[in-house]
């Protein structure tokens, strides 16, 4: 990871603009999940740290744009760039990170480069779908999972597949692993938005619903409610609910076990990924650690 961080620093320094260096330094590093995945899959390849740095720049750019779209004032408990320096600056910084990443990516083998590049197109489509879906209550589980795959899982899938191509390993199995890891990771995040406290989240609990994001626990809840309760749930969508309304949703989720049902799907996806990578203890451990975040 030290080599990855060194590559990230080099790429930022090569942008040759003090403002980019300053702003990038304000971004919290995060879990570096995608970079760690690449290093686990292709630990001996000389270009793995650079590929990991490229993917992390792409991920950082997507988060910058995501914060602007969501009007998010915080990111990982710290002020976002659009909060401190404005949305225009955040978008332009994201554009610089994207373009620098692609400048480096073209030096890789064509299959590796295409794998990462196509995932960025999918990621952008997923972001657009997320914005569209937030305008109204969505009760369609399949539609939500399609959006989740595009917006979140596709870059993790691409990181796993591209690093497998680098290392001469089974690209399809690793792509399945990355896809399911990405989906289950986001489903656990959706659960934590409801079950974790504000200090842990770095944002108010159940904030996803306030922002218009209708995640699996809410979709499963809608399926279980009667007509009057459904109307109440839909009426609270994309609004800041009163404490008693938050409590009502939480109690109904407990009653109908929608958190447990969401976790069951995340566990099923994780188990499928484990089966695909059963001989790789490190990759199995990543899944185990991810699943344990929820409770």
Would 1-30+48-107 and 110-295 be classified into the same CATH topology? yes
pLDDT in tens, the chain (295 residues): 999 999 999 999 999 999 999 999 999 768 899 999 999 999 999 999 999 999 999 999 999 999 999 888 888 778 999 999 999 999 999 999 999 999 999 999 999 999 999 999 999 999 999 999 999 999 999 999 999 999 999 999 999 999 999 999 999 999 999 999 999 999 999 999 999 876 555 567 798 999 999 999 999 999 999 999 999 999 999 999 999 999 999 999 999 999 999 999 999 999 999 999 999 999 999 999 988 875 4
**Can you state the angle between helices 171-195 and 281-291, rounded to 10 degrees?**
20
Q: Which tokens sit at 84?
A: 């401190």
Homologous superfamily of the 1-30+48-107 domain (CATH): Farnesyl Diphosphate Synthase (1.10.600.10)
pTM, full prediction: 0.94
| Cα torsion through 159, 264, 76, 120, rounded to 10 | 30
CATH of domain 110-295: 1.10.600.10
Domain boundaries, the chain: 1-30+48-107, 110-295
- Which residue in this structure is represented by tokens 């109690």? 251
DSSP for 222-273?
HHHS-HHHHHHHHHTTTS---HHHHHHHHHHHHHHTHHHHHHHHHHHHHHHH
Q: 129 vs 30, 145, 148, 150, 209, CA distance in Å?
A: 25, 11, 9, 9, 16
């Amino acid at each position: 990871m030290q080599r990855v961080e060194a590559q990230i620093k080099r790429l930022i320094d090569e942008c040759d603009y003090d403002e980019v260096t300053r702003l990038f330094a304000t971004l919290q590093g995060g879990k570096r999940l995608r970079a760690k995945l690449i290093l686990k899959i292709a630990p001996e390849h000389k270009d793995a740290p650079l590929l990991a740095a490229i993917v992390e720049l792409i991920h950082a750019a997507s988060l910058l744009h995501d914060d602007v779209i969501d009007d998010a004032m915080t990111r990982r408990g710290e002020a976002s760039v659009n909060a401190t320096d404005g949305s225009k600056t955040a978008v332009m910084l994201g554009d610089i990170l994207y373009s620098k990443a692609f400048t480096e990516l073209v030096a890789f083998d064509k299959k590796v480069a295409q794998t990462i590049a196509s995932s960025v197109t999918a990621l952008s489509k997923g972001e657009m779908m997320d914005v569209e879906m937030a305008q109204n209550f969505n009760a369609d589980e399949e539609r939500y999972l399609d959006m989740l795959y595009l917006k979140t899982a596709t870059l993790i899938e691409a990181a796993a597949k591209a690093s497998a191509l680098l290392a001469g390993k089974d690209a399809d199995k690793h792509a399945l692993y990355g896809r399911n890891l990405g989906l289950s990771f986001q489903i656990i995040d959706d659960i934590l938005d409801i079950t974790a406290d504000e200090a842990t989240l770095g944002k108010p609990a159940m904030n996803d619903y306030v922002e218009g994001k209708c995640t699996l626990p809410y979709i499963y809840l809608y399926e279980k409610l009667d007509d009057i309760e459904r109307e109440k749930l839909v009426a609270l969508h994309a609004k800041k609910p009163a404490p008693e309304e938050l409590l009502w949703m939480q109690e109904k989720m407990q009653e109908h076990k929608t958190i447990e049902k969401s976790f069951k799907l995340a566990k099923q996806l994780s188990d499928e990924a484990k089966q695909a990578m059963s001989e790789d203890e490190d990759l199995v451990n990543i899944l185990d650690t991810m699943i344990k975040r929820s409770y």
